[in-house]
């Protein structure tokens, strides 16, 4: 499928959907604490999306080729879970790190964002991993500009992650997004600058690096969805949806409670 260049009306709808995705993360933040189950967080987000926002949770019953339908409204990935963690009866403990991944549908358009949360007081290593991964995402975002290349995004992320002794998951990537949950292009979080698709105004895609404290190797659990690190090392992920503009980029999933952009270093 060709890359969809969004027009002004579509971009405005994507701004709305993106902001709403971020606001779900803002809302659920206060419930992330020791003793809560990931199922409870799923129910909280589900009710908020349906009854407060009037949005549809895109993951619920989503079934890409080769997968059985996803059974929940959000993804919750804890500690060594890399992505697509299925909410259940797991009770969060003091020291855990948690990724919550939200995708909403509003007026046919998708907003997609994820955020790391600290449960109580995680270790210094866990905090450092989350912070470096956040910087990786933003370095990728800052590489987005018309006339640039998707390879610039991946190269910026890979250089920063590996420069701090971490590894980049290769099997999963960012993606184009709009009326469809997953569109072209695929946005790799590693690579060489100056390679890949040339960026044009109107492109919209996610940047969502998955960074491991140990080796990059991963495996899938028996539920058919949850991905974990093979060496059981911690993993972190952050995600924003980004628009290529005439002069640079715009982050569409910013919300009032989103963490601030880190300073350029």
pTM for this entry: 0.97
How many other CB atoms are found less than 10 A from the CB of residue 200? 13
Domains of the chain: 8-251 (3.90.230.10)
DSSP per-residue codes, 54-97: --EETTTT---TT-PPP-SSSEEEETTEEE-PPP-SPBP-TT-E
Place of tokens 């044009």: 200
CA–CA gap between residue 147 and residue 246 (Å, rounded): 10
How many other CB atoms are found less than 10 A from the CB of residue 262? 12
DSSP 202: T
Q: What are the residues facing 242 on neighbouring strands?
A: 205, 251
CA–CA gap between residue 89 and residue 52 (Å, rounded): 25
CA–CA gap between residue 195 and residue 242 (Å, rounded): 19
Go through 60-72 and write b for each residue having 16 or more CB atoms within 10 A of its CB, e for each that does not: beeeeeeeeebeb
Ranges of the chain whose pLDDT falls below 50: none
Residue spans of alpha helices (H) in the chain: 8-28, 38-47, 124-142, 150-163
Spacing of C-alpha 113 from chain mean position: 5
121 near 93, Cβ under 8 Å?
Answer: no
* pLDDT recorded at residue 264: 77
Place of tokens 């995708």: 103
* pLDDT recorded at residue 25: 98
* pLDDT recorded at residue 96: 98
């Amino acid at each position: 499928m060709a890359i969809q260049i969004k027009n002004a009306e579509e971009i405005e709808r994507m701004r709305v959907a993106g902001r709403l995705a971020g606001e779900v993360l803002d809302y659920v933040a206060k419930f992330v604490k020791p003793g809560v189950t990931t199922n409870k967080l799923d129910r909280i987000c589900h009710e908020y999306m349906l009854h407060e926002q009037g949005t549809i949770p895109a993951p619920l019953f989503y079934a890409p080729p080769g997968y059985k339908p996803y059974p929940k409204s959000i993804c919750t990935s804890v500690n060594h879970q890399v992505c697509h963690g299925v909410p259940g009866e797991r009770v969060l403990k003091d020291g855990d790190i948690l990724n919550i991944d939200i995708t909403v549908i509003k007026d046919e358009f998708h907003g997609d964002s994820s955020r790391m949360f600290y449960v109580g007081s995680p270790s210094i290593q866990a905090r450092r991993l989350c912070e470096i991964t956040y910087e990786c995402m933003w370095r990728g975002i800052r590489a987005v500009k018309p006339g640039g290349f998707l390879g610039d995004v991946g190269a910026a992320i890979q250089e920063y992650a590996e420069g701090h002794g971490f590894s980049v998951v290769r099997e999963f990537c960012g993606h184009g997004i709009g009326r469809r949950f997953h569109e072209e292009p695929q946005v790799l979080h590693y690579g060489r600058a100056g390679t890949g698709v040339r960026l044009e105004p109107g492109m919209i895609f996610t940047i969502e690096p998955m960074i491991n404290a140990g080796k990059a190797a991963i495996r899938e659990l028996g539920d058919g969805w949850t991905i974990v690190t093979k060496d059981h090392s911690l993993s972190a992920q952050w995600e924003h949806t980004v628009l290529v503009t005439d002069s640079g980029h715009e982050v569409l999933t910013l919300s009032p409670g989103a963490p601030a952009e880190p300073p350029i270093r």
